[in-house]
Amino acid sequence: MTEVGTPRRRSEDARLVTGRTRWTDNLQPAGTLHVAFLRSPHAHARITGVDTTAARERPGVVAVLSGADLAAEQGSLPCAWVVTEDMKHPAHPPMAVDEVRYAGEPVACVVARDRYAAFDALEDIDVDYAPLPAVVDMERAVQDGAPLVHEDLGTNRSYRWVFENGDLDAAFRDAPVTLERRYVQQRLIPAAMEPRAVLCEPDGEEFTLYSATQIPHILRLMLATVTQIPEHRIRVVAPDVGGGFGSKLQVYGEEVLCLLLARRLGRPVKWTESRSEGNMAAHHGRDQIQRLALAAEADGRIRGLKVDLLAGMGAYLMLVTPGIPLLGAFMFPGIYKMGAYSFTCTGVFTTKTPTDAYRGAGRPEATYAIERLMDELAAELGLDPIEVRRRNWIGHGEFPYETVAGLTYDSGNYEAATERALALFEYDKLRAEQADRRERRDPVQLGIGVSIFTEMCGLAPSRVLGSLSYGAGGWEHAAVRMLPSGKVEVITGSSAHGQGHETAWAQIAADRLGVPFEDVKVLHGDTAVSHKGMDTYGSRSLAVGGVALFNACDKVVGKARVLAAHLLEAAEDDLEFTGGRFSVRGVREAGATIQEIALAAFAAHDLPDGVEPSLDSDATFDPGNFSFPHGTHLCAAEVDTETGRVRLRSYVAVDDVGKVVNPLIVEGQVHGGLAQGIAQALYEEAVYDEEGNLTTTTMADYLVPAAPDLPSFTTDRTETPATGNPLGVKGVGEAGTIASTPAVVNAIVDALRPFGVSDVPMPCTPERVWRALNQRAEPEESAEPGAGGGLGSAGGAR
Amino acid sequence: MIPATFDYVRPATIDEAVAALADAGEDAGQDVKAIAGGQSLMPLLRLRLAYPEVLVDLDRIEALREIRDDGDAIVIGATATHHQVLHDPLVGEHLPLIARATATVADPAVRHRGTFGGSLAHADPAGDLPAVALALDAVLHVRSARGEREIPAAEFFVDWMTSALEPDELLVAVRVPKLAGPGWGVHYEKFHRTAQAWAVVGVACAVRRVNGAVEDARVALTNMGPAPVRASAVERFAEGRTISRDAFRAAGEHAAAGTDPPADLHGSSQYRAHLAKVLTARALTAAAGG
């Protein structure tokens, strides 16, 4: 049976879904102490005193430490992406010492015999704060005289990064059509199902740190750098990890502090965050203000695009904070051809939780901008939104295509995906219904949203990362060892936290080695087991790590072939390898299975000269290019003009992620991605008040949608193989998130365009939709063209 | 977060529970709270927004769970779970408005633990059942070591998360009159942003239709003030009118009268006032089959 392409159920799911597994918080070595953090209630304040006396005296308390107590050893949290030479990069102590710069920043910690005692003692720590002005609004933060987040930097601007190609002035000069828009990418909270958790076990001068992290390898290196504990004395284990979405692509202060506390106390220490702690102090995503200008010909062909971003860094630069918007820099042109492009990004400090990678990381923001603009352009010209895209997209015959942003898209077929999506969606039928509802002035209007996207993922060619001043490479490693019994262990440097590597990697290995799926065990997430790796983010696991595994398997087969030739007394060239068995061409009965060869290689009694015992190998793959999945997403939304409520009626996603290893896993990734992208459009926002307090600290206020809030998705695929890797695969982890947000908002705006509405800020809450309808309606009563005022009682409060 | 320290009592009978409330509260001067399903109280404890010194767990008191027919009313035991209420044939037959509203409470997991009486005693104006109890003129039966009393729903919900229960009093049952006579239709119109979220605004509505006109209307609003609100102006306007969409739309225009809607992340006061009107018209229409 061919494993690759089979929709196998995931072998890891039974234990993950039931929770009967090794989540970090489930681990409880004897003598474990529990840590609780006291966090700043202020967005910005000077710390003038910390009194821990009373807390120390409470029963069960082992230690109480403030930032000042650890100042000499705690170092500064790393930022591995220095995007410009003059980037302002403030120190970031794991626990605040003199000043707090966001609500939720740790200021002191209690270590106690149980979690209850630790939490109780927090209330007895007395911190004196001298409040400083909060810096909440990015546009105000960059004005002269604005209060500063970091006084010593003299500015709230961290950096300014520019990319230009083509003659933008010429593109805009005398352009028949120009559009200018301002879109806000609200802050989002990644909200992984498993909260962050850390357990550090000391063993003399060596430490094992368990963390709910996406990046055990990077974390180990960074912990060594920050704490000066030698790298080889630290082992990092990511046991089963319950989701990350980028929020666990981080080196957190709590991880550093647990390591330091374990060293100081000589006992295992554990910390598991509460949901509200996570909402405040795990990094946030998005947070951009986009100023966009687009110039086009009268027939809709794009002449040029200008992008000017303010990108919220929050209070500090964390692991890849400043680089996230730059991952979008190359994606604003999307799937379209144009002659001129200019991108400017200003990184802005505010007194809010730091931002960093969140599913899509820079690319959803860019895709949102261009796909909203394409709908605006279509409306401006009176064209169908599909047609205006068709006039601009890169044709199937034009690949490989070098874009105005300097990327080379290897392959794609936007025509095929779009055609399939339109058919599944019943586009023409829905357009007819839309016209009918407009005609009838139905209080519930129908809108159709289009989003045709591509994205760059599979991070990433190391030389490209180097040219962007990223701190590391983008390769991945895999090792394959045949055990004497013929079973197989696969070790991957990619660190699964919900992606299903244990299934997909076993499918690849089973096919390449010709062994049963059940005979393959996939090991990952432990630096003592997987000695090198770049971990999991940026839809890179399969497109980079899967290819490393493919290559490692081929090396094993190559070695087995040498042994088989020796055992069968045949020339290597005369051997065939099918179904896990070598045989001499034309002589089917003379053969040896790979399992038999593994045993022979283990015994090593009769090996050819120069061949080492054991059957194993490894490979490290550094991709030559990014991976460019694409797809066409169509959304039908019903908008209740009386209440502003949006109900998604249907959603069609036709994605092209190249060759597929496990269609069920791809389907799951698309569904989850759609849910998160729709969540940005309709539900989620990290809201801060004017004093800089986060007001969405619980799930009652930060609305994460669940199954009943989402439509039944219709998904399908087209398959245009990637040309840069032997598997032909592209990344899929972020595709749904990137595509769906603009599809939904375009649908809402499409429903409301007859009312004069051309935008609704995200998330498009019922009240915002209602206000968008009524802001227009009030000043210019029944002045709307076409549908006119008073569709039903659509004027609402009119 | 995790709760602060508290003492825990688990009585087996109502008498023991009432005694425990008296012992802790009156005698020892402690802050005492009864807990049933814990679906509202536990989050407050975990966030340390509530610090009771003693919790009296009602879970073992079987007598508090009973749902029975009492002639012209149904009596629902205080710790009958939402799930139990939702599937109870008496409730289904005589109190369909309660069944409808209960079906919208949170999610199945919450409905299996959360209790009918608990959600009334919690007196959260965003809860669905207080408005329903108000619309149906429910009477709350309360016991303490000092004796028993009955509190009409109209007097029970005092303020935001504040009921007329004294600290030593236990809600034991709720007596809900059956809707008398033929022609009743009911509806609970809940507007919430996600299925598991609280109501931004809710409208509980029972309408008796006789000869194409509204004979009797009971309307109460969820989350339109610090306590559930009886929409008396709507009721007065609707009663006696010939049933039509326009009549209900006009009746809905009175829904915001006398309300004091809150403002939060899910809606401003102005928006809630608007929603109340639209949703009331829809609830009346759905209930009357207009």
Q: Summarize pLDDT for A503-534 with one digit per residue, the tens.
A: 999 999 999 999 999 999 999 999 999 999 99
**Residue A794 pLDDT class (50, 70, 90 cuts):** very low
- How close does chain A come to B141, measured CA to CA in Å? 31
Same domain, A429 and A507: no
> What is the span of the domain harbouring residue A229?
13-132+193-243+248-281
> A260 and A332 in contact (C-beta within 8 Å)?
no
Short-list B177, B238, B174, CA closest to B210: B238
> B137 and B152 in contact (C-beta within 8 Å)?
yes
Label residue A690 left, alpha or beta by phi (over 0 means left) and psi (-120 to 50 means alpha): alpha
Amino acid identity for residue A178 in this structure: T
**Residue B28 pLDDT class (50, 70, 90 cuts):** confident
Same domain, A547 and A663: no
Residue B59: Cβ within 10 Å count: 16
- How close does chain B come to A426, measured CA to CA in Å? 28
Same domain, A89 and A219: yes
Same domain, A694 and A734: yes
Partners of residue A41 in chain B, C-beta under 8 Å: none
Q: Summarize pLDDT for A282-331 with one digit per residue, the tens.
A: 999 999 999 999 999 999 999 999 999 999 999 999 999 999 999 999 99
pLDDT at B289: 83
Amino acid identity for residue A289 in this structure: I
Q: Is residue A169 part of a domain?
A: no
CA separation for the pair A589, B81 (Å, rounded): 70
Same domain, A675 and A552: no
DSSP designation for A541: I
Element holding A207 (H helix, E strand): strand A206-211
- How close does chain A come to B115, measured CA to CA in Å? 20
Q: First and final CA of chain B: distance in angstroms?
A: 49
pLDDT at A785: 32
Checking if the pLDDT of A781 tops 70, the result is: no
> A214 and A282 in contact (C-beta within 8 Å)?
no
Sheet containing A587-593: order of strands? A575-578, A581-584, A587-593
Q: Is residue A640 part of a domain?
A: yes
Q: CATH no. for residue A219?
A: 3.90.1170.50
Average pLDDT across chain A, whole number: 95
Classify strands B7-9 and B54-57 as parallel, antiparallel or unpaired: parallel
Element holding A650 (H helix, E strand): strand A646-656
Q: Is residue A197 part of a domain?
A: yes
Q: Which residues contact A630 (CB under 8 A, 6 or more apart)?
A: A335, A412, A414, A417, A452, A453, A454, A455, A655, A656
CA separation for the pair B184, A713 (Å, rounded): 39
Checking if the pLDDT of A26 tops 50, the result is: yes
Same domain, A385 and A501: no
| Local structure of A224: helix, strand or coil | helix
Does residue B8 sit at the A interface (CB-CB below 8 Å)? no
**Residue A778 pLDDT class (50, 70, 90 cuts):** very low
- Contact check, Cβ <8 Å, B195/A706: yes
| Local structure of B187: helix, strand or coil | strand
Mean pLDDT for the stretch of residues A71-81: 97
Helix axis angle for A766-777 and A735-752, nearest 10°, is 30
Q: Is residue A706 part of a domain?
A: yes
CA dihedral A330, A243, A647, A335 (to 10 degrees): 20
Element holding A259 (H helix, E strand): helix A253-265
Does residue A770 sit at the B interface (CB-CB below 8 Å)? yes
CA separation for the pair A343, A329 (Å, rounded): 7
Q: Residue B185 is encoded by which pair of tokens? A: 């239709």
Checking if the pLDDT of B95 tops 80, the result is: yes
> Which candidate from A643, A687, A797 shows the least CB-CB separation from B265?
A687
Partners of residue A124 in chain B, C-beta under 8 Å: none
Mean pLDDT for the stretch of residues A44-54: 98
Does residue B263 sit at the A interface (CB-CB below 8 Å)? no
Does residue B1 sit at the A interface (CB-CB below 8 Å)? yes
Short-list A651, A609, A664, A655, CA closest to A631: A655
Short-list A409, A421, A406, CA closest to A451: A421
Q: Summarize pLDDT for A620-675 with one digit per residue, the tens.
A: 999 999 999 999 999 999 999 999 999 999 999 999 999 999 999 999 999 999 99
Short-list B248, B132, B247, CA closest to B190: B132
Checking if the pLDDT of A777 tops 60, the result is: no
Question: Could you tell me the sign of the dihedral formed by the alpha carbons of A675, A676, A682, A685, in that order?
Answer: positive
Q: Is residue A558 part of a domain?
A: yes
Q: Is residue A501 part of a domain?
A: yes
- Contact check, Cβ <8 Å, A115/B274: no
- Contact check, Cβ <8 Å, A696/B265: yes
What percent of chain A has pLDDT above 90? Answer: 96
Same domain, A269 and A289: no
- How close does chain A come to B111, measured CA to CA in Å? 16
> A595 and A510 in contact (C-beta within 8 Å)?
no
The residue to which tokens 């809905």 are assigned: B252
Whole-angstrom CA distances from B168 to A34, A584, B30 are 37, 90, 11
Mean pLDDT for the stretch of residues B234-253: 97
Q: Which residues contact A660 (CB under 8 A, 6 or more apart)?
A: A5, A666, A717, A719, A729
Q: Residue A191 is encoded by which pair of tokens? A: 């909200």
What residue spans of A462-569 are helical by DSSP H?
Answer: 462-467, 501-513, 547-568
**Among B248, B270, B275, the residue to mutate for chain A (most A Cβ within 10 A):** B275
What percent of chain A has pLDDT above 70? Answer: 97
- Contact check, Cβ <8 Å, A687/B198: no
CA separation for the pair B94, B96 (Å, rounded): 6
Amino acid identity for residue A455 in this structure: E
Residue A126: Cβ within 10 Å count: 13
- Contact check, Cβ <8 Å, B267/A706: no
Same domain, A617 and A698: no
Domain-terminating residue out of A563, A590, A621 = A621
- Contact check, Cβ <8 Å, A642/B191: no
In the stretch 624-663 of chain A, residues with CB closer than 8 A to chain B read 642-643, 645
CA separation for the pair A91, A88 (Å, rounded): 10
Q: Which residues contact A423 (CB under 8 A, 6 or more apart)?
A: none
Same domain, A614 and A731: no
Which domains does chain B possess?
7-57 (3.30.43.10), 62-176 (3.30.465.10), 184-288 (3.30.390.50)
CA separation for the pair A342, A161 (Å, rounded): 11
Cross-strand partners of A50:
A127
* DSSP per-residue letters across A85-125: TT-------SS-SSEE-STT-EEEEEEESSHHHHHHHHTT-
Whole-angstrom CA distances from A91 to A129, A226, A677, B160 are 20, 12, 33, 45
Q: Is residue A137 part of a domain?
A: no
Q: Summarize pLDDT for A555-578 with one digit per residue, the tens.
A: 999 999 999 999 999 999 999 999
Q: Is residue A268 part of a domain?
A: yes
Q: Residue B37 is encoded by which pair of tokens? A: 């399903």
Same domain, A106 and A254: yes
pLDDT at A779: 38
Residue A90: Cβ within 10 Å count: 17
Does residue A775 sit at the B interface (CB-CB below 8 Å)? no
pLDDT at A589: 85
Checking if the pLDDT of A683 tops 80, the result is: yes
- Contact check, Cβ <8 Å, A766/B191: yes
Cross-strand partners of A618:
A479
A-B contacts at Cβ under 8 angstroms: 63
Checking if the pLDDT of A52 tops 50, the result is: yes
CA separation for the pair B231, B234 (Å, rounded): 5
Element holding A372 (H helix, E strand): helix A363-381
> A659 and A719 in contact (C-beta within 8 Å)?
yes
CA separation for the pair B129, A655 (Å, rounded): 45
CA separation for the pair B129, B105 (Å, rounded): 9
**Among A699, A767, A770, A775, the residue to mutate for chain B (most B Cβ within 10 A):** A767
pLDDT at A790: 27
Amino acid identity for residue A664 in this structure: L
CA separation for the pair A452, A472 (Å, rounded): 32
pTM confidence score: 0.96
pLDDT at A246: 97
Mean pLDDT for the stretch of residues B247-252: 97
Q: CATH no. for residue A542?
A: 3.30.365.10
CA separation for the pair A797, A783 (Å, rounded): 16
The residue to which tokens 């965003």 are assigned: B126
Same domain, A335 and A263: no
Burial degree of A308 (CB within 10 A; 0-12, 13-18, 19+)? middle
Residue B211: Cβ within 10 Å count: 8
Checking if the pLDDT of B38 tops 80, the result is: yes
Nearest CA in chain A to B253: A797
Domain-terminating residue out of A598, A621, A644 = A621
Short-list A663, A645, A480, CA closest to A557: A480
Q: Structurally, how many domains does chain A consist of?
A: 3
Residue B27: Cβ within 10 Å count: 11
Does residue B4 sit at the A interface (CB-CB below 8 Å)? yes
Does residue A489 sit at the B interface (CB-CB below 8 Å)? no
Q: Summarize pLDDT for B153-191 with one digit per residue, the tens.
A: 999 999 999 999 999 999 999 999 999 889 999 999 999
Checking if the pLDDT of A265 tops 90, the result is: yes
pLDDT at A796: 29
> B204 and B102 in contact (C-beta within 8 Å)?
no
Element holding A290 (H helix, E strand): strand A285-296
Q: Which residues of A675-698 are buried (b: 16+ CB within 10 A; e: fewer)?
A: bbbbbbbbbbbbebeeebbbebbe
Same domain, A593 and A638: no
Checking if the pLDDT of A789 tops 70, the result is: no
Short-list A589, A518, A577, A527, CA closest to A553: A577
